Structure 1
Amino acid sequence: MPATVRQVENALALLEFFAARKRPATLADVAGHFGWPRSSTFNLLATLAEGGWLYEPRARGGYYPTPRWQALAGEIAEGEPAPERLAALVRRISAQTGETAWASAPSGQHAVFLEVAESEAGIRYAARQGARVPIHLTASGQALLSQMPERDREAILRKAGFEVRGPAAARDLAEVRAQIAAGRARGWFRSASYWSADLGGVSIPVAVEGRVFSLTVAGPLFRVAEKEEAHARLLHRAVAEAFGADHAARTLTAMHVLT
């Protein structure tokens, strides 16, 4: 195997090592884990550190990946297209409700809109592909959080901020956790002036091709506030028709499924 390919392979293996370890590692830790020569290990760690990909949280306390990896992954995710079956579902839901619909995916502290079908109404929820909303303060985001392993969800919530939010949004992590628990038990997640004043919507998680997305329909509160449960049932029904009656029950965790 060419040396340059081996170096790439080693760098990727190092990332997986840190993902599993979840704490800093010294040169000796890395060399011992992989059985690499100390000189080669030093060169790899030094190169990544000089490039801003690794840092030492404490002097001589070992290396750890910088947030640059997460930022890069988020930028890549924002350009990723939604699966075609999910994109078709978004368009169908918008047509059936007359409101804006979208599919979102997690991107760090945000939910990013991968596919959007905007309402044709004069007053509507204006959304665009690639837009981002706080993952902890929105129905779209909370639907995504609900299906994450608790450890991953809490890692995101610990970084959450509440300085910028809608007038009716959660004010602290306790409220966010309560909203997620309520959404799971209810079978859908809601937002009513949580992020944008006078706008609201409902969202559910949906697993497609091994990934979890959120499926959302939203609009001005004067039109959608009294239709929350009806829209939630429509979302569940649309997923069942597109992917199978037992799809949600098979693929979602600790989530009530409306029938």
Structure 2
Amino acid sequence: MLDLLEFFAAHGKPASLAEISQHFGWPRSSTFNLLSTLGARGYLFEPEGRGRFYPTPRWLAIAHTISAAEPIPDTLVRLAGDLNERTGETVCVGAASGGNVIFLEVVQSKARVRYAAEVGQRIPLHATASGQAIMSQWPGRQRTALLRKVEFERYGPGTPMSVEAVEDQIRAGLFRGWFRSASNYSQDLGGVSLPISISERVFSLTVAGPLNRIEVRMPEIAKLMHATVAQHFGPRYLGNEIKGLTTPPLDVI
């Protein structure tokens, strides 16, 4: 069913049973059963009346209901948009989901060459600036329990390859006042991340882009992020709400 939804999203037009069956290599009988069930439940209709199917707005209504029950705080959405305008790079808001960070909000850079992140994208907690920012706010026992389950894999030259290496990068990030990634997970991608705590939920706020463009700007971007967070949440926020994080002078606005 998820494959079918992604198929319609990619094609953007109605499709027949034969087209869907052929595209996925599904048996026609199984494809017919799936389309019939979704149609009977109000999730598909035939806009042309010729046996060509397309999703109904019911999917969107359900998605809105789910989102409204646990929304991303409006302040974070505005903050992400503000940082996108100020840095010119892609800005992502993430939260922990199992052993990964899942992006809940993405504001794409307008640059031709950019980090093309997507809402719903998952990246590993231990290997990324976004994940380490979130884990820095966890109790040590919680962090240790997760890291013991990690199967360390070399994604790039910056990937931490042991529990100790992850802990070292987290300590360095807290002392520095921001978390960095330089080909840690995606080759030639760089990122700067801060943890954001709202109503006992910890999010990551990340500015990311091509490493050859962003690496020399990391300290500048980090100061800009601190200053922008102070504008949206108040100047005392990072010192009061984020455990252990060094706060640089807010002199860049």
Give yes or no for the alignment of 1:245 onto 2:235. Answer: yes
1:110 aligned residue:
100
| Contact in 2 for aligned 1:101/1:215 (Cα 8 Å) | yes
| Contact in 2 for aligned 1:80/1:114 (Cα 8 Å) | no
Q: What pairs with 1:68-83 in structure 2 (closer than 5 Å)?
A: 80-83=70-73
1:99 aligned residue:
89
In structure 1, how many angstroms separate the alpha carbons of the residues matched to 2:70 and 2:158?
31
**Structure 2 counterpart SS, 1:196:** coil
More displaced stretch, 247-256 vs 158-167: 158-167
| Contact in 2 for aligned 1:86/1:208 (Cα 8 Å) | no
Which one of the candidate residues 101, 117, 120 is aligned to 2:110? Answer: 120
The Cα RMSD (Å) is 1.6
1:140 aligned residue:
130
Structure 2 stretches lacking a partner, 5+ long: 1-65
Question: Please, what TM-score do these two structures have when normalized by structure 1?
Answer: 0.68
- Superposition deviation, residue 160 in structure 1: 1.2
| Contact in 2 for aligned 1:81/1:114 (Cα 8 Å) | no
Which one of the candidate residues 196, 213, 224 is aligned to 1:206? Answer: 196
Which one of the candidate residues 224, 246, 253 is aligned to 1:234? Answer: 224
- Superposition deviation, residue 211 in structure 1: 1.4
- Superposition deviation, residue 131 in structure 1: 0.6
**Structure 1 counterpart SS, 2:245:** coil
| Alignment-mate amino acid for residue 103 of structure 1 | V
Cα deviation 1:49-80 (Å, max 9, x = unaligned): xxxxxxxxxxxxxxxxxxxxxxxxxxx99x95
Percentage identity across paired residues of the two chains: 47
| Contact in 2 for aligned 1:81/1:115 (Cα 8 Å) | no
| Alignment-mate amino acid for residue 214 of structure 2 | V
- Superposition deviation, residue 209 in structure 1: 2.9
- Superposition deviation, residue 81 in structure 1: 3.5
2:32 aligned residue:
none
| Contact in 1 for aligned 2:154/2:161 (Cα 8 Å) | no
2:63 aligned residue:
none
Question: Please, what TM-score do these two structures have when normalized by structure 2?
Answer: 0.69
1:129 aligned residue:
119
In structure 1, how many angstroms separate the alpha carbons of the residues matched to 2:161 and 2:153?
9
- Superposition deviation, residue 91 in structure 1: 0.9
- Superposition deviation, residue 162 in structure 1: 1.5
Give yes or no for the alignment of 1:184 onto 2:174. Answer: yes
- Superposition deviation, residue 257 in structure 1: 1.4
Cα deviation 1:25-57 (Å, max 9, x = unaligned): xxxxxxxxxxxxxxxxxxxxxxxxxxxxxxxxx
In structure 1, how many angstroms separate the alpha carbons of the residues matched to 2:151 and 2:72?
28
| Contact in 1 for aligned 2:95/2:202 (Cα 8 Å) | yes
